[in-house]
């Protein structure tokens, strides 16, 4: 009688288990945390929730982050770098013309799905910032950096420093408001608002 073939063990080998724990990058955890923040709010951004979503154990998390607070800080840092530092660098690099860069800033709320996703993240972050000092600091820092960038463009167009900053604040609050109130009016009406704001803020007092 032929011997029965030995069954392969279903137990994951130590090396395989380690690979599963470390295959996810910190960026993957940050992305998952951001999605939960947007969909469910900051209270649901927990290690157990994220691990279940990603199909790994809680222990996998600690290969990349000391604790939940470290992950939350990484979420804030990643958002600031992408939505403020990298964005303004791209806008500045796209054209040497201050007027054209301002036109690009005004177009940000209307850039399709990427604009919709950015607005959802921003709305979730601002809600979080009302309750948390670290989030509030990150949002305040991003607002200040964006306004400073826009003010430099108005200064380059010849407006005095104080007036350039006031015009930058008005333009920025318009862009934020347009982003968070997507769907208000038709595409034609949105275009009319953009053109009106551009004319208004470029006209000397």
Mean pLDDT of 38-65: 95
pLDDT of 7 strictly over 60? no
pTM summary value: 0.85
Residue 15 lies in a domain: no
| Structure-token pair, residue 164 | 């350039």
Residue of higher predicted confidence among 33 and 13: 33
Residue 112 lies in a domain: yes
Residue 47 lies in a domain: no
Kindly report which listed range (18-22, 38-42, 86-90, 184-188) carries the lowest average pLDDT score.
18-22
201: Cβ contacts below 8 Å, ≥ 6 apart: 102, 154, 167, 170, 171
Q: In a 3-state reduction of DSSP, which class is residue 45?
A: coil
Residue 14 lies in a domain: no
Mean pLDDT of 170-196: 91
Residue 29's pLDDT is what? 97
CATH of the domain at 136: 1.10.357
Judge residue 181's burial from the number of C-beta atoms within 10 Å of its C-beta, 0-12 exposed, 13-18 middle, 19 or more buried. Answer: exposed
Residue written as tokens 């408001």? 177
Instruction: Give pLDDT tens digits for 93-123.
Output: 999 999 999 999 999 999 999 999 999 999 9
∠179-38-49 over CA atoms, to 5°? Answer: 175
Instruction: Give pLDDT tens digits for 130-153.
Output: 999 999 999 999 999 999 999 999
| Backbone phi and psi for residue 17, each to the nearest 5 degrees, phi listed first | -65, -40
| Structure-token pair, residue 158 | 């010849």
| Structure-token pair, residue 188 | 């034609």
pLDDT of 126 strictly over 50? yes
For residues 83 and 2, give the distance between their C-alpha atoms in angstroms, rounded to a whole number: 67
Q: Which domain holds residue 128?
A: 75-202
Domain count, the chain: 1
Instruction: Give pLDDT tens digits for 8-31.
Output: 444 444 443 444 455 689 999 999
Residue 32 lies in a domain: no
For residues 33 and 29, give the distance between their C-alpha atoms in angstroms, rounded to a whole number: 6
Residue 15's pLDDT is what? 42
Summary mean pLDDT of the chain: 90
For residues 191 and 15, give the distance between their C-alpha atoms in angstroms, rounded to a whole number: 57
Residue 182's pLDDT is what? 76
């Amino acid at each position: 009688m032929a011997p029965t073939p030995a069954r392969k063990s279903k137990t994951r080998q130590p090396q395989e288990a380690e690979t599963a724990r470390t295959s996810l990058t910190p960026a993957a955890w940050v992305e998952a945390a951001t999605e939960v923040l947007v969909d469910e709010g900051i209270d649901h951004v927990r290690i157990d929730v994220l691990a279940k979503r990603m199909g790994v154990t809680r222990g996998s998390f600690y290969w990349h982050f000391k604790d939940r607070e470290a992950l939350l800080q990484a979420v804030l840092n990643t958002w600031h770098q992408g939505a403020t530092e990298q964005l303004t660098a791209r806008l500045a690099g796209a054209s040497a013309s201050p007027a054209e860069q301002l036109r690009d800033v005004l177009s940000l709320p209307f850039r399709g799905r990427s604009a919709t996703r950015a607005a959802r993240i921003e709305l979730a972050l601002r809600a979080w910032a009302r309750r948390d000092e670290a989030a509030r600091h990150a949002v305040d820092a991003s607002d200040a950096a964006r306004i400073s960038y826009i003010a430099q463009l108005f200064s380059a167009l010849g407006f005095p420093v104080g007036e350039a900053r006031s015009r930058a604040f008005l333009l920025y609050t318009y862009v934020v408001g347009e982003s968070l109130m997507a769907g208000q009016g038709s595409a034609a009406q949105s275009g009319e608002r953009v053109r009106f704001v551009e004319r208004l803020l470029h006209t000397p007092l």
